[in-house]
Structure 1
Amino acid sequence: MTQTRTPLSTPSRLTASLALLALLSGCGSAGLSTGTDAPQGEVPAEYSDWFGWRPEANISGDDWQQINRAQEFIEQGRHDEAIERLEPLMARHIPPAFYEMAKLHDDGLGVERDPAEAARLYGRAIETPSAIRGQASLKLAELYLAGDGVERNERLAFHLLDQALKEGVERAEPILADLLAEGGEQIGPDPERAQRLYEQAAQRGDANALEALAEAHGPNGWRETAPERAMDYAKRLEAVLEDQAAGGDTGAMRRLAGLYTADGLLGDQPEQRQAWLVRAAEAGDEDALGHAGTALLRGGDPQQGMALLEEAAERGDVDAMTRLGQALLDPDLGPTRPAEAKRWLEDAVEAGSVDARVILGAALIEEARERAAPMGLDGSGDDPATTLAANALSTPPEVRRGIALLEEGAEQDDPLALAHLGSLYLDDALVPSQPWLAVDYLERGHELGHPWATQQLGAAYLAGRGVPADGRRAEALLREAAEQGQEGALRLLGDAYLEGEVVPFHPTRGEALLEQAAEAGDTAAMTSLGEAYLSGPLEEQPQRGHALLEQAARQGDAYAMVVLGRAYREGSGVPRDLDEATRWLTRAREAGHASADDAMVGVNRDRGALGDINALIEAAEAGHPGAMADLGRAFLNGEGVQANPEAARAWLERAANAGHTGARAEVGEMLLESDPQRGMTLLQGAADAGHAGARLALGRALLLGEHVEADAERGLDYLRPAAEGGNPHAARLLGQAYLEGNGVEADPARAREWLDVAVESGDLSSRANLGRILLRGEEGMPEDIERGRELLHDAAEAGHPGAQATLGREYLRGERLERDTRQGADYLLQAARQGHSSARLALAEAYLEANGLESANREQALLWLEEVMEADSDMALETLHELISDDIAAAR
């Protein structure tokens, strides 16, 4: 920092006399402003010694020589000798000595920086008037404004700056003007005085004052908006900075570059900005070297830009290392060089760069995703078991490293790191998805203002992932993200309006948003809009839809290829053409889209139905595991070919041996009864690879001992993650285990929790089972007739025979539910029609009881019932219905 030298000569008696006259006349009392300025409060009493009048310090010529000598030592870096000169003078209360010592503590020269001690010494320096009172007041004001070593105090800083001005320190003008322009917590605004102060400083060519005046008269400024006046100040600032730059001031060169940014005072002028940054770099400004490199990257000369960034990075510029690493990963700037990029980013990480941590972490995650996609490890499609998320222990080291770096960035509240972590934990591609954790990251990223985090959070509220679905919240978030430039948010909200599930159905709005996103280049929006024009819900526009889909497909959108393939298969908006369908679906499969294989199966089925099963057979015989599995399923289900269980099993076996996890799971289930050991081995392998169906089948077999030796605890280990993920079948099995104490201690409350999960997930068996238990107060659960009836009714209406049978018996008995013989008989008949044995028996018993034949042979009654049921005559069944209900009613 440049030191302010006290004059080598003693202040003249004339100067001292004038100062005394001014003080006696009241102009300097307490440092108060003139009466035309807004009052800002009195000087706090405890600081009155800094402002009150007293005789000027008696400083001799010898004292000044000692002070000047100390200043020379400071300039030469001989700080200890300077301190030795200053301490005796301080002991004699010589103000300039306190001032020079304060600056040493303020700047950390010769001593450890101590702003609190500097503030104390500045205060001592201004207690007695002297030639340095104004400079010391300015320095002390800056500490109080910054809260540096002292508690921030705007009012005290105001009076100190006022005093500095009265002492003739012009440098205080723009600082005081900054304080008064819009006011603060303790100081009211005084724009008139601020304008005068800035104008005075501007007249002397003060760059800060000119910049402040240009901003004041610009948009959202604190003075009246006057574009011409603002531009005049900006041009004057440009001239001042150019003069300083001509003298080699690199700081001025960088400020000039800042004038030409998009939000700069002179508007976006990339060439000018780049030129000044390059000049600053050439003049030796190492920080400017990196900024110049960045400007060249954006300005169309990436090769030169990278050269400058590399030079800056070699000199230790951490930001340059970070920007260079990022540039080397960007395909838009030329061939990528990942290894070199990682080296620079690792160096920046080592130097403490949070940005580098986030960029490197995201790059490692993306690299792993790209490697996983061609292998079918993207956690989606027909073969989910091959996902890397199958087992946390299988997470590759580079993914673990990427996560660690992103989490370090998140700890520093980096919004992009939070957005990346949210994306990672919403997806099953590389790690098991954890939607609640993802939403926590995204909420933090949104609060910090990152538009991508806001978009993903909106999408989570749309899908109900990690949070309950909330259309209003989703809509607000997506609109906010769209306003911040996220085209994907426009598409997500447009899609939601067309679906009409979480937000109200509004095709006009949806179409407008998708059009906007498509025009901005969002290929997924082109695809959504094209699909909507082909197959609804928008008004059919086949030509427009086809054109949008082809545009998106040409730009690499794999789902657009899938939609085109389906359209050609179905003849939707285009002539039906299975060859074109195959071409587009093949391209989609090559691009790695998860649903391409499924769509191709449909094409192959159509070819098979037309006598061309060879298309699917050829792919299977060529060794494609997915095609083998598809052909096996086709033979199994008789889809496109004649059903052939042996051929089905043979092709599924081949697919399983080729590593197709879905096929392993299917063959494993097939073999549980005939070859349980091999079946369990296949299921185990598929489950270890993360196949949800295999884990469920394995858990069920082990829990219930179906075809294998029971191992309830191990079975529950497989079922619990699936149940926690909302799988209704797993939740039902867990609930049953807690009911029966199978593998766990019997716990009706926990059983109720898991059965409720299964019910909410749509499991009819759980609905019927829990309804029966609550209605009757069984299995240790308290009776809840109303809830039980509600659950049973819902299950029965959905066609569950057990629920129908239970309700039928309860309505006939009239013990827990109000007797309704007709409805009871109706439910029993519905259950009996579906072959429910106890319903059939209950019908027979009801008939016998209604006719006073309780002791009659039940087998005869069942035979009678069987004849009626086998007759499949609606009239006979209705007659039976009326007979039973009427007889029971009469008997009652």
Structure 2
Amino acid sequence: MKSIIAGTQRTPFLPLAASLTLSVWLGGCAITAKEPPGGGHAGTLPVQYAGWFTSGPQANINGSDWGTINRAQDRIEEGRYEEAIAYLQPLMDRYVPTAFYEMAKLYEQGLGVEKDPSEAARLYGLAIEKSSSVRGHASLNLAQLYLDDGGVERNDVLAYYLLWQAVEADLNRTAEIELAELLSEGGEGVEADPALAIQLYEQAASQGKAPALKALAEAHAPGGWLWEDAAQSIAYAQRYANRLEANAGQGDVGAMLQLASAYSQDGLLGDQPDRRIQWLQQAAQAGDLDALARAGHEMTKAGEYRQGIALLEDAARQGHVGAMTYLGQALLEPEHTGRLEQNRAERWLNEAIQAGSVDALVVLGRALVNGQADLDDLPRGLGLLEQAAESNHPLALAQLGALLMNDERVTSQPYIAVSYLNRAHELGHPWATQQLGVAYLESRGVLRDLERAEELLHSAAEQGQAGATRILGEAYLEGLLNGNPSQGIRLLTQAAEQGDSYAMILLGRAYQKGSGVSRDLNEAIHWLTRARDAGHESAAAALTYVQRDLGAGGNINALIAAAKGGHPGAMADLGRAYLDGKGVERNHIQAEKWLEQAHQAGHAGASASLGRMYLDRGDSARGIDYLNTAASRGHDAARADLGEAYMTGNHAEQDVERGLELLISAAESGSPNAAFTLGDAYQHGKGVGKDAVLAERWYQQAGDAGAIHARAALGIAFISGEGAIAQDVQRGHELLLNVAEQGHLGAQAFLGREYLRGENIEKDPERGVNYLYEAASQGYRSARLSLAEAYLSARGYANVNQEQAMLWLNELLDSEEQIALETLRQLILEEVNVAASGRQM
């Protein structure tokens, strides 16, 4: 231990700039017994400490005393502490301040005596009762003890005055830096003065003191106590690095280690693994065993396993317990799961445990309970974790809490789990805090307390626990906590950005369903794709479902992706798209391929589509087989098609009883087509007796279910009076007008003919022609024929048959179709008007 004092008293001296700066804050205060140094930021100094700050003549230390002190310092540097104490004791008996100071340092560091901060503080106090060359140094050391909470009761006021005294002594140490730190935010009984803190820091920074440069860089960084100024923060950080590099260049191992920390994830110069490892290796080459272990650990984390493990093994062989633990942990990673590595990992961890490493107990215990690298021994793993828990290891406590709370391999003991989690939480472990929050949220081992759950989860989230952020977000989204869904989305996004893959899944589902956010299938695909890429096992399936939804909205590429992803509904939709030529070119081979795959996957709709497809092709046996399969899977439309086939005898041997059973079952399940078929059967007596009540009932049910053609059929039945339903022209007219306005071509054509004939409703040729034209313009064949018949009749051709009308219409439509129809409409209206004029004359 090097001496920091000379054999003669040094005269305090401040550079001109520093003295001018500090004199403002000192206010010209003279140092007397009644007025200790300081700028008025702290309360009155207790009387019993006034002697520490008295001015007066220097303590009487003669040349012989200095010689004894120097001999004691030499013995301390040589590690001969008992001899050093023997030199110091007589001087302390005579109250020589320097002897008290040297002895205090021994007690503070535990050199030659048992470490005792309280005794060190007492001796530092004796060292500063008289003015001497060590008063400033002792004041600084004592202030540090009062601020460190390390065995001495914290006292910010005393520390404040002691630091001022050390600043005035111009020690070229850290007094002004530590005083600035205290004043930056204030303390118990000490008023904050950020402006003075800046001046003190800048004074130290101007002298190139690395801690001051670091403090200013941190103060201007985001979250610092000064205004945020990224450029200024970076400038101070670079000056800090330059100062450290200069020191490191002179062999200062501490500077090398500080540089490594500056390039860490939370360091001032950002996460730069290569630079961090470089400085750790340099410190290791200088003989620092800790740096060798850290360098190896960092290299394994950076993916340089071979070299990292070599460095760790080197440090471990030299007896570094931390290196043994790091090495064992690295050898348990997936890249090193061979039998040899497993045995080496266990050997090194056991050596670290024998050397007293609690961390090694936890690493090996967790590996054994989790079956990591084939180390599967649950009882032994639990025993190691419990052993570590006896030493209050936070991770061991958190792991035991997790195991006893909900692990399938261990009998659940929620109350004991909560006890472990409480202990780990009090020790500041964020994972334990998160688990405890979940326990209060779900009432596991404790009574449900949503307020406490929210508090704990927020605390864990603020400590960087992405899982806690995700759990909070999910709870807000589902309304379990008194937040709002948008807050839930914000927290889930935050957790997802931190790499929580399950948060990505929850976000994807939220955007898919529109829960707490506007529905956005593209955003859902974005998050689910990220979850899949992050390795979440359920992401691929969830992504396929969203692609199916997007495909259902018309995105054929998404539909194809969902079908290829194995979604039965997407396969069925893609098959129908190829069948109908919607979004893709019509392709019956592809249609059959995808419908068959969906059918094989159990999709009832695909079976029904295949059944109808084969019936249309004339392959009745195969079509009926598919329809039977679809019906057995609960497909109502398939039951309706089957029922119609059995009722009519088309495509299957007629079986009216079975057909009725199938149709009624499908109709009662909500199939409008089945209801329409029943209504039509009872109206026209197809396979059953005519029944007006049943015909109207089933037509009405089909119409209410959205089958517009059923309402059209019912309207036609009322107007025509043919079939089971009695004529009711008014009801029929109202129904047909309604469905015609909705675009039903059959209703438009029927009304057109009725208005032209004028038999059931009042004749209105113009209206009739317009209805026929509307239907004909959209390709309705019977409306075209009716238009042609109407024109020929208007021209005086009597008894026009359909064949004659069709022949003439085809000749007319050889020209542009729509123009031809419009011309035909105008010609008919002209003929009608001419005929009407003739009758009037």
TM (normalized to structure 2)?
0.55
Q: Match of 1:107?
A: 109
Q: 1:342 aligns with which of 334, 343, 346?
A: 346
Give the 3 Å change call, closer, same or farther, for CA 139–600 of structure 1 in structure 2. farther
In the alignment, what sits opposite 1:533?
547
Change in Cα spacing, 1:13 to 1:419, as seen in structure 2 (3 Å) is: closer
Structure 1 stretches lacking a partner, 5+ long: 15-21, 372-395, 551-559, 585-598, 611-637, 640-892
Corresponding residue of 1:495: 509
Which of 436, 439, 453 is residue 444 of structure 1 equivalent to?
436
Rounded Cα–Cα distance in structure 2 between residues aligned with 1:413 and 1:125 = 40
Q: Which residue of 2 aligns with 1:229?
A: 232
1:192 is displaced (CA, Å) by: 2.5
Q: Give the alignment partner of residue 287 of structure 1, picking from 270, 287, 290.
A: 290
Give the drift of 1:26: 5.5
1:315–1:538 distance in 2 versus 1, CA, 3 Å = farther
Partner of 2:149: 147
**For 1:264, which of 245, 253, 267 is the aligned residue?**
267
Partners of 2:576 and 2:595 within 8 A in 1: no
Distance 1:166 1:349, change over 3 A: same
Aligned to 2:47: 45
Whichever residue aligns with residue 530 of structure 2, its letter is E
Give the 3-state SS of the residue equivalent to 2:270 in structure 1. Answer: coil
Match of 2:248 in 1: 245
The 3-state SS of whatever aligns with 1:220 is coil
Cα deviation per residue 1:71-115 (whole Å; 9 max; x = unaligned)? 222222222222222222222222112112211211111111111
Residues in 1 aligned to 2:595 and 2:577: alpha-carbon distance in whole angstroms: 11
Q: 1:331 aligns with which of 334, 352, 356?
A: 334
CA–CA separation in structure 2 for the residues paired with 1:420 and 1:538:
48
Cα contact 1:455–1:486 (8 A) shared by 2? no
Segment drifting more, 66-75 vs 446-455: 446-455
Identity %: 41
Q: Which residue among 356, 359, 377 is the counterpart of 1:398?
A: 377
**Distance in 2 between the 1:493 and 1:228 partners?**
36
**Matching residue's letter, 1:28:** I
Cα distance in 1, alignment partners of residues 273 and 70 from structure 2: 48
List aligned pairs for 1:61-460, cutoff 5 A: 61-171=63-173, 172-331=175-334, 337-351=341-355, 353=357, 355-367=359-371, 398-405=377-384, 412=392, 414=394, 418=398, 422=402, 425-426=405-406, 428=408, 430-431=409-410, 442-444=434-436, 446=457, 447-448=459-460, 449=463, 451=465, 453-454=467-468, 457=471
Return the letter of the residue paired with 1:90: M
1:29 counterpart SS class:
coil
Q: Cα distance 1:491–1:100, how it changes in 2: closer, same or farther (>3 A)?
A: same
Q: Which moved more, 1:93-102 or 1:535-544?
A: 535-544
Distance 2:400 2:563 in 1: 29
Q: 1:322 to 1:235 in 2, by over 3 A?
A: same
Match of 2:828 in 1: none
Matching residue's letter, 1:276: W
Instruction: State the SS of the aligned residue for 2:264.
Output: coil
Gaps (5+ residues) in structure 2? 14-22, 422-431, 438-456, 579-589, 611-631, 634-841
C-alpha displacement of 1:183: 2.0
Q: Please tell me whether the aligned partners of residues 477 and 488 of structure 2 are also in contact (alpha carbons under 8 angstroms).
A: no
Quote how far apart the aligned CAs of 1:322 are. Answer: 3.4
Following superposition, the deviation at residue 243 of structure 1 comes to 1.9
8 Å Cα contact 2:358/2:393 also seen in 1:
no
User: What is the distance in 1 between the residues matched to 2:319 and 2:559?
Assistant: 54
- Offset of 1:461 from its aligned partner? 5.9
Q: Return the offset for 1:154.
A: 0.9
Whole-Å Cα distance in 1 between the matches of residues 573 and 97 of structure 2?
Answer: 94
1:195-219: CA deviation from partner (whole Å, max 9, x where unpaired)? 2222232233211112112222333
1:510-659 to structure 2, matched below 5 A, reads 512-513=523-524, 515-519=526-530, 521-522=533-534, 523=536, 524-534=538-548, 539=553, 541=555, 543-544=557-558, 547=561, 563-564=566-567
Name the residue aligned to 2:31: 28
Secondary structure in 1 matching 2:371: helix
Secondary structure of the 1:117 match is helix
- What amino acid maps onto 2:398 in structure 1? L
1: distance between equivalents of 2:572 and 2:302?
47
| Deviation sequence 1:415-438 (CA, Å, 0-9, x none) | 69737854785454x345678888
1:511 deviation in Å? 6.1
User: Quick one: distance in 2 between partners of 1:360 and 1:451?
Assistant: 23
Equivalent residues of 1:293, 1:305 under 8 A apart: yes
CA displacement 1:473-509 (0-9 Å, x = unmatched): 9878745633543131131344366578xxx576716
1:144 Cα deviation (Å)? 0.5
Contact 1:365–1:398 (CA under 8 A) maintained in structure 2: yes
- Among 486, 490, 502, which residue is 2:500 paired with? 486
Once the two structures are TM-superposed, the CA of residue 340 in structure 1 deviates from its matched residue by: 2.7
Q: Distance in 2 between matches of 1:233 and 1:545?
A: 56
- Is 515-524 or 208-217 further displaced after alignment? 515-524
Cα distance in 1 between the residues matched to 2:139 and 2:576 = 80
- Residue 168 of structure 1 aligns to a residue whose secondary structure is coil
In the TM superposition, what is the alpha-carbon distance from 1:127 to its structure 2 partner?
Answer: 0.9
Please state whether the residue corresponding to 1:508 is helix, strand or coil.
Answer: coil
How far is the alpha carbon of 1:53 from its aligned partner?
3.0
* Pairwise CA RMSD: 4.9
- 8 Å contact 1:302–1:333 — kept in the other structure? no
Tell me, in whole angstroms, the C-alpha distance in 1 between the residues paired with 2:595 and 2:315: 53
Change (3 A) 1:293 1:510: farther
Amino acid at match of 2:347: R
Counterpart CA distance in 2 for 1:13 and 1:364 is 62
Map 1:871-890 → 2, pairs under 5 A: none
Post-superposition offset of 1:178: 1.7
User: Which residues of 2 match residues 652-667 of structure 1 at below 5 A?
Assistant: none
Cα displacement (A) at 1:287:
1.5
Question: Which amino acid is the alignment partner of residue 78 of structure 2?
Answer: Q
Corresponding residue of 1:7: 6
1-side partners of 2:245 and 2:370: how far apart? 45
2:736 aligns to what? none
Q: Distance in 1 between matches of 2:592 and 2:273?
A: 52
Aligned residues: 548
Q: Contact between 1:514 and 1:528, CA under 8 Å: does it hold in 2?
A: no
Q: Encode CA deviations 1:121-180: one digit per residue, 9 max, x unaligned.
A: 111111111121111111111111113332101111010011112222231121212212
SS of the aligned residue for 2:7 comes to coil
**CA distance in 2: counterparts of 1:499 and 1:65, whole angstroms:** 85
Given that residues 498 and 505 in structure 1 are in contact (C-alpha distance below 8 angstroms), is that contact kept between their aligned partners in structure 2?
no
Instruction: From the superposition, tell whether residues 58 and 79 of structure 1 become closer, same or farther in structure 2 (CA, over 3 Å).
Output: same
In the alignment, the residues of structure 2 paired with residue 351 and residue 579 of structure 1 have an alpha-carbon distance, to the nearest angstrom, of 67
What SS does the aligned partner of 2:143 have?
A: helix
- The 1:271/1:148 distance shift into structure 2, 3 A limit, reads closer
Max radius of gyration: which structure?
2
Residues in 2 aligned to 1:583 and 1:325: alpha-carbon distance in whole angstroms: 50
